[in-house]
A and B are shown apart, each in its own frame.
Chain A
Amino acid sequence: MRRTARLLTGTALAVAAAGFVAAPAYADEGDGSLEVFPSQAVPGTQITVNTAVCGPEGTAKGDAGAVGAGTFTLAPSTHEGEAIGQFRVPPSAQPGTYEIVANCADGGRQVSGDLVVTLSAARGQEPRGSVKTGVGGALGPDPVQTAAGVAALAVAAAGGTWLLHRRARGDGI
C-alpha cells in the first residue's frame, strides 16, 4: 500500500519535474517564443536558437541578418519536439541588441527573440562555497536490519512466553 503510494508519488514528481524542465528557462525578450542561447554573446560566438511554435516535425527558416549572420535553417530535434538552428555572430558585429527571427516552413508563423552582443564576455560570477544538497533523510537504520530486529524480538517474546507457561503449569525450570 505504502509502496504503491510511493510509486504514485514518484511518478507524479517525475511528471512534474519533466514539466518544470520543459518550461523555457531563459529570458525571452522578443515578441515570440524563440529561445536564444546564449542571449548575450561576444562576436564570434556560436548561437543556438530553438522554438516549439512550428510543431514537432516543423522546420523553419531563421534570419540573423540583423546581426550580419544571414539566414540559417531550424530543423526538428529530439528536444521536446522543438526546431533548433545555429548561427555564428560575425567577428565584426557591433555591440547592441538584435532581433533574431524564425519563420515556420508550414503555416508561416513568425517568432523572434533578442540577442545582445557585447564586447566583453558577460558570464556570471563563479559560485562560492559548498552546496546544500542533502538533509540526511537517507541515513538511519537499514529497513532490512530493522525487520530482522523485530523478528528476533518476536522469537524472544515467544520463547519467554513458553517458559512462563511451563512454569505456571508447574513443569519446573
Chain B
Amino acid sequence: MHRVSNAAIGTVTVVALCSGAWLLGGGAGTHTPPQPSAAQAARTGRGGEPRGAPALPPSPPDRIRIPSIRVNAPLMGLALTPSGSLDVPPAAKKNLAGWYEAGTTPGEKGTAVVAGHVDNADGPAVFYDLGALKKGSRIEVDRRDGSVAVFTVDAVSVYDAEHFPDEKVYGPADRPELRVITCGGGYSRSTGYQGNVVVFAHLTGSR
C-alpha cells in the first residue's frame, strides 16, 4: 500500500483548520438583504413625469404581488403609531404586508403606502428582496372591487431614519402613485436597521 506522507496529512489538516475557522468566523461575509444601487435612486428634481394610467375609484386593496421578487402577500390595514410613524404588521406573520388605511387606496389619485417586514426573528420576511427591484419592475395590487391596479417602479432608494424625506415618501401626488417600504440601510446590533428601502411606483394600467 502506498503510504500517505505525514507532510501531506499535515498540510491538509492545517488547510482544513484554517478554512474551517475562516468560514465559521464569517470571513466570507454574512448574507444580508439586497440593497438598491445608486442607479435605481429617485431623481432629485420633480415634475415632468409621465401621467401614467387614469386613476381608479377608491377601493381597499387585498393583496400585493411583485412577480420579479416572488412576492404574493395579503394586505392588512395599518394605522399610525402614537409618534406619527406608520405602524407595521405583526412581525410573526412573515408573509403579511400592510397598507395605510387612512390614506389613499392603491390606484386612486394620490400616494398610497404599503409596508412590510424585511425579516423577523426567524429569518427573511415578505419584503426581504425589495431592495433588488429595478426601475420598470411591475407591482400588482388586487383590490376589493375586483380590479387589479398595475404599477411600474420609478425608483428604489434607501433613506436613513435620521433624515427621512417625509414629503417625498408620503406627500401628495397628482397621479396615482404607490410607495412600498421595508427596513434597510446599515444594520447594527444596538439600533437595528438604520433606515428604509423605499420603492416609488406609479399606476400604468389596470384590469
Residues of A within 8 A of B (CB): 6, 10, 13-14, 16-18, 20-21, 25-26, 37-38, 45-46, 48, 50, 77-79, 84, 86, 123-142, 145-146, 148-156, 159-160, 162-163, 166, 171-173
Contacts and interface: CB of A to CB of B under 8 A. Distances in A.
Contacts of A155: 12-13, 16, 20
Contact of A138 (B58, B116, B123): B123
Nearest to B124: A138
Closest 4 A/B residue pairs (Cβ): A124-B102, A159-B13, A149-B23, A134-B183
A127 B193 contact: no
Nearest to A23: B76
A127 B159 CA distance: 15
A19 to B, nearest CB: 10
Contacts, number: 221
B76 A21 contact: yes
Contact of B116 (A133, A137, A149, A156): A133
B175 interface: no
Contact of A84 (B124, B144, B182): B144
Given A134-B182, A145-B23, A79 B86 contact: no
Contact of B28 (A10, A145, A150, A154): A145
A86 B59 CA distance: 10
Interface string B54-95: 000111101000000000001111001001111010011111
A20 B16 contact: no
B20 A152 contact: yes
Interface in B1-50: 6, 9-10, 12-14, 16-17, 19-24, 26, 28, 30-33
Interface string B169-184: 0110000000001111
The residue in A136, A138, A149, A150 that gathers the most chain B C-beta atoms within 10 A of its C-beta is A138
Contacts of A77: 144-146
A139 B166 CA distance: 28
Given A152-B20, A173-B6, 12 more contacts: A48-B145, A77-B146, A84-B145, A127-B84, A127-B103, A129-B166, A134-B117, A134-B120, A136-B192, A149-B24, A153-B21, A162-B9
